[in-house]
Structure 1
Amino acid sequence: MELVAQVLQACERTPKATAIVGPRGEAMTFGALRERALRIRDRLSAAGLARGDGVLYAVEPSPEAIAVALGVVAAGGVLVLADPGVPPAILAARLRLADPRWVVAESRLYALTSLAPLRALVRRRGVLLPSLRDPLPGDDLHTGLRHAYTGRWLPGVPRHAVRLRGLDGPAPQEYGGADADGPAAVIFTSGTTANPRAVVHTQRSLAAGLEIFRDHFPVGPGDVVHADGLMIGLPALIGGATWSMGPARLIARRPVTHLYCVPVEFAGLDAFPATLRTVMLGSAPAPPAVLRMALQLPVSQVLSIYAMTEALPIALATARDKLDHAEGDLLGAPLPGVGVRFTEDQELVVSGPHLAGRYLGEPPLSEVATGDLVRMDDQGRLVLLGRKKDMILRDGFNIYPSLYEPAIAALPGVADAAVIGIADAATGDEEVVLALVADRPVDARELRSVMDAGALPDRIELLPEFPYSSRRKLDRAALRELIRRR
């Protein structure tokens, strides 16, 4: 069964139960979620949203945001998760590739990005927001861009935007299904401004990933699952549990039974509800100190999830098994249905029904290289040896140095720039360090013009020169060691 149908079917089973609790405590029942999603589907379809239309999605996490996402996909639209908060040049490159026909955003975001005084205010605070009314000015392909908004109308909302607030009238029609193999979501993961890269998931691939999760993550009515992502929140809804949204620190005030968060976020928690039974750590490696902290809680299980955007999930390992494993980072046995193989240099390549259909603008995928160097132990479990690429992980955010270094090096007075990660032994998170060869300091405001907010460095180091290999390539290992000694 396709993804949206599974969620709506769960809504019909327990319509009066609470489906989602938002970051500010706002709640929505399963019945309300179903009706809201279907009314949004009908409204967008009536307004001309066609099957396969890309929809730039700019709605902050909330129960309403989930209803909007379900409504868009139910109408046949494709969610384009391009992150409007990235620098304008990066967003423009992503949108040229995705070619969305619609923008669905909160009315306040339209106001912030369209009204000159408000744009100037947020710019003074170091935030650069592109105009959602016209994200690609001067691009003839986007002159017919349509808009829809959530929340009450505010100045800055396009004149003919479709209102998604306060929809009522006759009961919405039943959900008739959609093309399970058609695109449902486009998720940008990496690439440069000149060559952005995005994963294209179908309803079928997403549903397969959720099925794998549910088999190892049984939840049901009465359970409260706290998570910040769809791949944990949607299985919770399908199982009849309540999805609790927001920062992990909120769990202290909620009857949470299952918690999913990034290891570094978990390490910062100092209060846990007595109801907590399961802790799941993911989006970054879970270091021993965090695993031991989790095992001190009176919970029944602590799991570490290994996954990638292209294939969610790949493997699970218990905290105890990870701590008992002496050599390398134990990832766990491949989950049922997940195919694995290894290249000559030990890079892990995965396949399976949960694999994304393709990268946007590229041929279909039958398997995907993870970028991780992995071996399989004598028990058939995957063991991480290291990362093949230079990607940095901080707070669950993937940081690709090559995406930012050329633009930083192009700033006035900068001769060379390198972004490196230095692992924190206590949390496993990586400190992001920007190394510069420059004749002047570079301030945070300049960096915000060329970097994602999630990639901004923790510190900046000025160096007289960078270490290079004999082939005149930047020696990142030597640079990292140089930074460690400072």
Structure 2
Amino acid sequence: MNDVVTGVLETARRAPGGVAVIDGRGATLTYGELRRRVLAVAEAMTGLRPGDGVLFAARPGPDAVALALGAVAAGGMLVLADPGLAPDVAAARLATAVPAWVVADSVAYTLSGPLRALARHRGLALPHLRDPAPGRPVRHLYAGPWLPGVPRDAIPLRAVYRASSPHPAPLEGAGPFEDPGPPGRDGPAARPDQPAVVAFTSGTTGRPRGVVHTRGSLAEGSASFGSAVPLAPGDVVHTDQLMLGLPALMAGATWSLPGARPFASELAERGATHAFCVPVRLDRILREDGRLPGTLRCLLLGTAPSPPAVLRRARAAAPRARIWSVYAMTEALPIAIVSAEEKLACREGDLLGAPLPGVAARIAADGELYISGPQLARGYIGEPPLREVATGDLARLDEQGRLVLLGRKKDMILRNGVNIYPGLYEPALAALPGVAEAAIVGVADPETGDEEVVLAVRPDEGFDAAALRRALPDRVDAGALPDRVEVLPDFPRAGRTDKLDRARLRAAVARHTGGGGR
């Protein structure tokens, strides 16, 4: 079985001179140097047992890549510190995955300690990194200069790197250091079953459910992705997504991390051949600058549905590139990939594509999609191992064996005893001229529980409300035709990926009285 850590280190051993990472400011890190740093961090983090929690709060960059891989190589399981959580939710997560180490930027210690009140006032909430598990001993490794809030016994990353030089100096606070040697030396032994990262799926309420991915499941996911989107040395992959960065590193390509420059400008400056973007954000970008550089061969869209208007705009902006939409979930990374051309040609439902190699898809009696395969997470913390996972999506398999999304199970609308699945119709409605985005929601009658079906539309250039209403019978089954149409200037979004917030949209159309309702 594959192992993501040894896979990256083996790639680095074979081609130490290649560029592994470009940071947000354009600085580069070679594979040989990345390998040295990863092994040095692993050596410094002595005493970790396989699966011990490592609370991780490092900003994206070469140091973060080395710290993450090094911590996992040492046996740790990364627990990502989410700066947007309420204190009680963060505490519940840390009680579920108790950290033995904290690996963070020095500024994160300051913002979670001496400047905690100021940080919270500005919407940034971090767990108390200095003492994340009261009553339990925790060791610390920090990047950057020492700042107030950093524990005095914390190990500075610069000292870890310095100790891995040919003439290492003693490293205060760390265990006995063993020089990792030149790039040709073997790295840590493969541990495919070792927990590598835990990602929590609960929102702001409810019991935390930590999805545990192993070194093996991450490697299998990377290999599955690479089978659909091949990567090779010389390719430059521009993304902040781990599940695209890891395949790049395993293939010997360059992982380009976004900085503060405009998206298209950074792609051009880095010579990016592959890039990832959230559909809604790409739409905003292309409305301001409708061209992407000619070096781009592959543009990947994911984490949210890709409206037809965005796909068409992306094709116009990058006519030489293949546009792909990626379907994945936290428990299974990835599941399917489909081209923009195939997606736009699908008239009923949202085409997700054929399951990737090794991915098994099962449609239950109620239409819910279940997924299994080697890329599946090991399971949830404190729960039995996963053999398959319920996606919460309603889907069907078409005559070519491709998955077609019909909607979210929880988004089903019930009107007059008829089940209505919004995802079956939304892509076709969003493909109409003058429509930027379309969503169907149900507004429940508090007395009967029956739902009013409301079509919400975000208009694009050339929108014609009357033409939209005339087109509805050809795009929506008679039993699912909306009771009214509401035209909104924008749709409510949630989270870092700007995912459509259907609950807030439902509330907006429930109280909306003008702007095109019928």
Could you give the per-residue CA deviations for residues 48-84 of structure 1, whole angstroms, max 9, x where no partner exists?
Answer: 3333211011111111101101100111111112424
Q: Which amino acid aligns with 1:165?
A: R
Structure 1 counterpart of 2:212, one-letter code: V
Q: In the alignment, is residue 272 of structure 1 matched against residue 292 of structure 2?
A: yes
d(CA) in 2 for partners of 1:89 and 1:455? 23
What is the number of residues matched between the two proteins?
Answer: 417
Name the residue aligned to 1:465: none
- Distance in structure 2 (CA, Å) of the matches to 1:134 and 1:240: 38
Choose which of 350, 354, 373 in structure 2 pairs with 1:352: 373
Superimposed CA distance per residue, residues 313-338 of structure 1 (whole angstroms, 9 cap, x where no aligned partner): 11111100111111111001111111
Indicate whether 1:251 and 2:251 are aligned: no
How far did 1:294 drift? 1.6
Cα 1:34–1:365 change in 2 (3 A) is: same
Partner of 1:472: none
Q: Give the deviation of 1:121 after TM superposition.
A: 2.7
Cα-Cα RMSD? 2.9
Which of residues 310, 319, 338 is equivalent to 1:298?
319
1:124 maps onto 2:121 in alignment? yes
* TM-score relative to the length of structure 2: 0.75
**CA distance 1:82–1:122, change in 2 (3 Å):** closer
Is 2:193 the partner of 1:181? yes
Partner of 1:4 in structure 2? 5
Distance 1:483 1:219 in 2: 49
1:424-478 deviations in Å (ceiling 9; x for gaps):
5769x98337xxxxxxxxxxxxxxxxxx97599999xxxxxxxxxxxxxxx9996
Preserved contact between residue 4 and residue 250 of structure 2 (Cα < 8 Å): no
The residue aligned with 2:304 is 284
| Structure 1 residues 345 and 151: CA distance shift in structure 2, 3 A | same
Contact 1:19 1:243 in 2 (8 A): yes
Measured against aligned partners, the alpha-carbon deviations of 1:282-332 in whole angstroms (never above 9, x if no partner) come to: 111111011111212222411111111111111111100111111111001
Q: Which residue of 2 aligns with 1:318?
A: 339
* Alignment match, 1:32: 33
| Alignment of structure 1 residues 110-121 onto 2, 5 Å | 110-115=109-114, 118-121=115-118
Counterpart in 1 of 2:50?
A: 51
Question: Is 1:367–2:375 an aligned residue pair?
Answer: no
Q: Does the Cα contact within 8 Å between 2:50 and 2:194 map onto a contact in 1?
A: no
Of 204, 218, 234, the match for 1:206 = 218
Alpha-carbon distance in structure 2 between the residues aligned to 1:26 and 1:422: 45
Q: CA deviation at 1:358?
A: 0.4
Larger CA Rg, structure 1 vs 2: 2
Rounded to whole Å, the distance in 2 between the matches of 1:81 and 1:356 is 16
Match of 1:431 in 2: 491
Secondary structure of the 1:374 match is strand
For 2:499 and 2:366, the matched residues in 1 are separated by: 31
> Does the residue aligned with 1:165 lie in a helix, a strand or coil?
helix
Do the aligned residues in 1 keep the contact of 2:315 with 2:321 (CA within 8 Å)? no
- Please tell me the residue identity of whatever aligns with 2:180: P
Paired position in structure 1 for 2:415: none
Q: Distance in 2 between matches of 1:457 and 1:325?
A: 22
Q: CA deviation at 1:99?
A: 1.3
Query: Which digits, 9 at most, give the CA deviation of each residue in 1:129-181, with x for residues without a partner?
Result: 33211234xx43xx312211111212210111122224233441531314211
How much identity, in percent, do the aligned residues show?
52
Structure 1 unaligned runs (5+)? 392-420, 434-451, 460-474
| Residue in structure 2 matched with residue 145 of structure 1 by the alignment | 138
Which of 219, 224, 245 is equivalent to 1:233?
A: 245
Distance across 2 between alignment mates of 1:255 and 1:99: 42
Q: Distance in 2 between matches of 1:455 and 1:351?
A: 25
Could you tell me which runs of 5 or more consecutive residues in structure 2 were left unpaired when the two chains were aligned: 167-178, 413-454, 462-488
Whole-angstrom CA distance in 1 between matches of 2:225 and 2:71: 24
Q: Given that residues 254 and 273 in structure 1 are in contact (C-alpha distance below 8 angstroms), is that contact kept between their aligned partners in structure 2?
A: no
Query: Does the 8 Å CA contact 1:22/1:245 hold for their aligned counterparts?
Result: yes
Whole-Å Cα distance in 2 between the matches of residues 92 and 220 of structure 1? 42
**CA-CA distance at 1:277 after TM superposition:** 1.0
What's the offset of the Cα at 1:273? Answer: 1.8
Q: Cα deviation per residue 1:19-69 (whole Å; 9 max; x = unaligned)?
A: 111112222111110101101111112xx3333211011111111101101
